[in-house]
Amino acid sequence: MEDKSDDDIRDDDTREERVGDVDPAAGSTGLMPWAERGLIPGFWEYVVSHYGDEDTVEVALEGVQLTEYLLADALAIGVTDIHIDPRDNGAMVRLRLDGVLKDAVLLDTQLALILGNQVKILAELNPLPAFGAADGHFFMVVSDISLNVRVTVAPVMRGDKLSMRLLVQPEESYDLTALGMHEEDLQRVERCRRGRTGILAVAGPIGSGKTTTLYGLIRELDVATGNIVSIEDPVETELEGVNQIQVDEKQSLTFPEGLKAMLRLDPDFLVLGEVREPESARLAVDAVISGRRLLCTIHSRDAVAAVTTLRNFGLSSREIATHLILVISQRLVRKLCKQCARREVPTHDEQQWYEWVGAEAPSEVSHAVGCDACHHSGYHGRQGIFELWVLSLEDVGAILDGADERELRRRLKGRGHRFLLTEGLQRIADGVTTVDEIANMGGYELGMES
């Protein structure tokens, strides 16, 4: 390797100062802490070696090198979302890893503009400053991986805020066992799927992995002997053997219109990406009345709360009791890094939490530590926490009688139902995750009602 001259060293120092800033308020320069830990090494190397040369800046404006390097680094460590947040002195690139946003690097104004324009052009969006929210997407092969990137841009106080959702879901990622569902629960799902016609719903808040579980359920269907039709917004991943309809409101192809079209396509299974308003809830009921099975997602705090959501959408208790077969409520929690997790006596706060939820604290729990393998987060990957509610004749009768959430949970608790809290406590005992993760997942407190 050739020795660098003093001029070369000064040039490299200048380039680094223009790209990174540890503490903008303090004015110190250098790499951001997360960049030092190697989250985006390829992107950083490209920037340091090219940025500052006027010729290569012109090339960058015409090409997509910055975006390619950023996406390659993101894929290498399992990033699901990339955010470009405008700041007074540039833009912060932030990565969502295992559900948590991490600052990666602060770009100066010129480089942030180059990166933002590249992303907008790839997504076929106007590269000029945004005056309203806009959505787009693009496909790119990165590190031999076919990647679908959903892009959203919106004007905020300091400039354009960009968000990229990276959709690269290999078929094996839809294995329900790998997602964290127990074999016993899988068998219960299979019995419901092969039983009477009706609605099988996956429930949870935004970002809880509902769509991934929905795709896992679809994966279990026999596409060779059945006609499976879905309506989604957006179609996150193309599934072999499934006829997927993409919502396009500009062409008047809305969820309700798409569902009406699905019913005319002689389907065996209907998949409704999300029951999101009264009209789609009504159409879902009309679909199962015609003798179909329907899979869908719905926003609710836990399994029982799905009944309240459907009631709020205008469905009667009779319609819900008649047609709702199964609700799968779920959350995603981070898994401990196997390289550095440590078994220790529960802290005082952890013991208090166990007391609050009415459970006995174990003698030891696992704590997150942090190492190079997990980028010093203490966690690596995520796993689902599932609550399965197969409606019994008793549940149907209670719903017909107008029972509210509290009454339904009281009945389930008396039958030994496994709520989200039950599953979460088991994952702590198994050393899969930490008390903090379960305490922060939400929804479990509903199962504590008596």
Q: What is the pLDDT of residues 49-68, one digit of tens each?
A: 666 554 444 444 445 788 99
Q: What is the pLDDT of residues 283-328, one digit of tens each?
A: 899 889 988 899 999 999 999 999 999 999 999 999 999 999 999 9
**May I ask the CATH class of domain 6-167?**
alpha beta
**Residues in the chain, how many?**
450
Question: What is the per-residue DSSP string for 296-360?
Answer: EEE--SSTTHHHHHHHHTT--HHHHHHHEEEEEEEEEEEEEPTTT-EEEPPPHHHHHHHHHTT-P
Of 258 and 398, the one with more pLDDT: 398
Check residue 5 and report its DSSP letter: P
Q: What's the chain's average pLDDT? A: 85
**What's the confidence (pLDDT) of residue 15?**
38
Residue 48 is predicted with a pLDDT of 67
- Which range is least confidently modeled, 54-68, 168-182, 225-239, 263-277? 54-68
- Residue with the larger pLDDT of the pair 24 and 341: 341
* The pLDDT of residue 56: 47
Using alpha carbons, select from 328, 254, 340, 337 the residue that is nearest to residue 296.
328
Across-strand partners of 85? 92
pTM of the predicted model over 0.75: yes
Q: Work out the pLDDT band at 270, boundaries 50, 70, 90.
A: very high
Q: Where are the beta strands (DSSP E) in 204-254?
A: 228-232, 243-246
pLDDT of residue 2: 44
Domains of the chain: which residue ranges?
Answer: 6-167, 171-448
Average pLDDT over residues 112-126: 92
Residue 248, pLDDT above cutoff 70: yes
Nearest Cα to 189, choosing from 347, 114, 66, 295? 295
Long-range contacts of 342-351 (CB under 8 A, 24+ apart): 342/366, 342/367, 342/369, 343/367, 343/431, 346/435, 350/435
> Which own/partner pairs from 11-17 qualify as long-range (CB within 8 Å, at least 24 positions apart)?
11/52, 12/48, 14/52, 15/47, 15/48, 15/49, 15/51, 15/52, 16/48
CATH of domain 171-448: 3.40.50.300
Residue 162 has pLDDT above 60, yes or no: yes
Q: Which of 62-76, 89-103, 273-287, 389-403 has the lowest mean pLDDT?
A: 62-76
